[in-house]
Amino acid sequence: MDDKQLLTAYWQHLLEQRNEGDPESWIARKKRLHEERGNKVPRIRGEGKLQRKSRGKQDKYTIEYDLLTVFFVKQGNSFYHEEEQRRHTAVIQEGQVISDELLLPPEPETQLPAIEIFGKEETRVQRFDYDRRAAVQYAERWWNDYNPEFRKFAVDCTSYVSQCLHAGGAPMWGMPDKGRGWWYQGDSWSYSWAVAHSLRWYLSGSTQGLKGKEVERASDLLPGDVICYDFQGDGRWDHNTIVVSKDTNGEPLVNAHTDNSRHRYWEYRDSMAWTEDCQYKFFRIGE
């Protein structure tokens, strides 16, 4: 069985899960959540990129690959594409999927809350002109790729968002102290640049350079703004996304890294990490 046949067999298995309404299928779950919001998903397309393959006994293969899935979403009279890439491992024998498993990203690193790290800095109001369009253009260019000018982290969501903010003109400051400011320089960076928990608290407390203003509702956000997620509701902030568009109901669609996503509905209820206790913070950037 060649690589293309392996990937075709696996994608067919995922489509069968969707069509049978398997509640364990993340594809079926995402489709159901869209339908709960009044959307339709008339078409789903998948494309695999093989990363590793090993052959065992009796023509049994174990494969690891990235699955890029495109959901064609109909909302009223409008259409948009939601895209997501996830890494899977599967065992295939004689063209049949024996087992499959979604590979979860590693647990995010947690640092001390940035509000404590930055609390002793001088208070100095400083404005900057935030180019939202440039931030969104960067987010769209790199949503499923990695800019070689920056380190690729195992948990890359916050670094990706930081790069987007920097592309929009957010000024760096605090070098070389990792616990001060928001910056990336050479082979070093601040906690707030790359750690989800630290960026959330930095945005709450910063009065210079990159700043954020907390708003009450996701619908108050604009393209270029940031959403922070505490999936467990335990006070540890796990994930960050950047708003790149809004749907016809005025709700944000976001891009993100780690599970690379484009135009994903902001709530993230389709995520394996999401729980009923999930907490959100919504930040307008540059205010």
The domain limits of the chain are 3-102, 114-285
pLDDT reported for residue 18: 47
Convert the pLDDT of each residue in 93-118 to its tens digit: 876 777 777 776 666 555 444 444 44
- Where is average pLDDT lowest: 48-57, 59-68, 102-111, 259-268? 102-111
Convert the pLDDT of each residue in 151-180 to its tens digit: 999 999 999 999 999 999 999 999 999 999
pLDDT band at 126 (very low <50, low <70, confident <90, very high): low
Arithmetic mean of pLDDT, 32-53: 89
Residue type, 272: M
Percent of the chain residues topping a pLDDT of 90: 62
pLDDT reported for residue 61: 83
Q: Give how far the C-alpha of residue 98 lies from the chain's centroid of Cα atoms, to the nearest Å.
A: 29
Residue type, 227: I
pLDDT band at 130 (very low <50, low <70, confident <90, very high): very high
Mean pLDDT in the chain?
86
pLDDT reported for residue 176: 95
Class of the CATH domain delimited by 114-285:
alpha beta
pTM of the model: 0.86
Q: Give how far the C-alpha of residue 79 lies from the chain's centroid of Cα atoms, to the nearest Å.
A: 21
Convert the pLDDT of each residue in 207-251 to its tens digit: 889 999 999 999 999 999 999 999 999 999 999 999 999 999 999
Q: Are 48 and 14 in contact (CB under 8 A)?
A: no
The whole-angstrom separation of Cα 19 and Cα 28 is: 8
CA distances from 149 to 120, 144, 159, 160 (A): 31, 15, 12, 12
